[in-house]
Amino acid sequence: MREIRIAAAQFEHKNADTEYNLSRIHQLTATAVEQDAEIVSFHECSLHGYSFTQTFDKEQLLDLAEPLDDSASLNSLINISREFDRPITAGLFERDGDQVFNTYVFVTKTGILARFRKLHAFVNPHLSSGEEFVVFEWSGCKFGMLICYDNNLPENVRMTTLLGADVIFMPHVTGCLPSVMPGRGTVDPKLWKNREHDPVRLRQEFDGPKGRGWLMRWLPARAYENGVYAVFTNPVGLDDGEVRNGQSMILDPFGEVIAECRQLGDDVVTAICTPEKIEQSGGRRYIRARRPELYGKMTESTGEQPTTEPGWNLKYKSNS
């Protein structure tokens, strides 16, 4: 890996409004370029929006999704990459035949360099889950991608690291969810709408156990235990009536936050990622100390289908 400067962005997306969402991606990419960023990263399903699809039937989901080889919004994203001569990472719903995937792409001015399909899709029962890890190289660096829930399973981050990733993009739509976990829960949308007049109360909610406090329970551990840079992106503001806390950030291989969005609104931050920290990290020492011959139980089939369950109730109800 070489030294590289990466940007993590956040913005308030609009449901199914790719034109608007692309306009925010364009503006934030311009700002990131002013900060000398070499790559600009955006959140899960940042082109289409996300949570509003919980109640979609299969046809609605298929109508929203786009095939990657004929996607107007993806072509626009590539054009933005071409305009600024910077790779961009962003998410969308991908249509492939009669299947729909929650997909994340790394695009350059010449097209899609890498595509990753979420391994643990759950927001809608008609979504299909991906079947493979993705690690790729660009400009002397190796990158991986894992979407939201994928990062909650330590095995996924470890596998991505073992396949060679030094930097892992971790796009999310999360935070301030109606969880049963103590201290967590939703944020009153009135606080978001009144943020300019009373920023303190909203900041307290975002920084507490509903938002940043929850992230700090596990996100630094993923970077630390694997000795990787983690690029966490998350929307901010209203998402299908609920408030998301943003706080997009970049963590180093020691699990330290080296850059974080602190605006109560659209924002982008940039950090320098260096190879020295990877080489010095405890996570890389722990990987070298592993004893795989003892871990057979971890890969045994239970004979049951995996079940991806969030810690809150989904809105979808089957009509059948």
Domain hosting residue 81, numbered range: 4-299
Summarised one tens digit per residue, pLDDT across range 102-135 is 999 999 999 999 999 999 999 999 999 999 999 9
Number of domains, the chain: 1
**Is 242 inside any structural domain?**
yes
CATH number of domain containing 241: 3.60.110.10
Residue 187 · residue 177 · CB < 8 Å: no
- Over range 151-156, report the average pLDDT: 98
pLDDT band at 317 (very low <50, low <70, confident <90, very high): low
Asked if the model's pLDDT at residue 4 lies above 70, the reply is yes
Exposure letters 268-285 (e unless 16+ CB within 10 A, then b) = bbbbebbeebbeebebbe
**Is 320 inside any structural domain?**
no
CA 126 from chain centre, in angstroms, equals 21
pLDDT band at 312 (very low <50, low <70, confident <90, very high): confident
**Is 281 inside any structural domain?**
yes
Phi, psi of 314 (to 5 degrees): -75, 155
Q: Which of 167-171, 187-191, 192-196, 314-318 has the lowest mean pLDDT?
A: 314-318
**Is 306 inside any structural domain?**
no
Give the H/E segment covering residue 5.
strand 4-10
pTM attached to this predicted model = 0.97
**Is 149 inside any structural domain?**
yes
- Over range 73-85, report the average pLDDT: 98
**Is 48 inside any structural domain?**
yes
Q: What integer best gives the mean pLDDT of the chain? A: 96
Question: DSSP string covering 264-314, please?
Answer: SSSEEEEEEE-HHHHHH-HHHHHHHT--GGG-GGGG---SS------SS--
Angle between helices 154-162 and 212-226 (to 10 degrees): 40
**Is 292 inside any structural domain?**
yes
Summarised one tens digit per residue, pLDDT across range 233-280 is 999 999 999 999 999 999 999 999 999 999 999 999 999 999 999 999
Where do the H-state alpha helices sit in the chain?
Answer: 18-34, 58-64, 72-84, 154-162, 189-193, 199-207, 212-226, 275-280, 282-288
User: Residue 123: which of 195, 189, 49 has the closest Cα?
Assistant: 49
Residues of the chain with pLDDT > 90, as a percent, come to 93
Q: Could you tell me which residues are beta bridge partners of residue 271? A: 6
Summarised one tens digit per residue, pLDDT across range 180-223 is 899 999 999 999 999 999 999 999 999 999 999 999 999 999 99
pLDDT value of residue 303? 87
Q: Please measure the distance between the N-terminal and C-terminal CA atoms of the chain and give it in whole angstroms.
A: 52
**Is 287 inside any structural domain?**
yes
Summarised one tens digit per residue, pLDDT across range 41-61 is 999 999 999 999 999 999 999
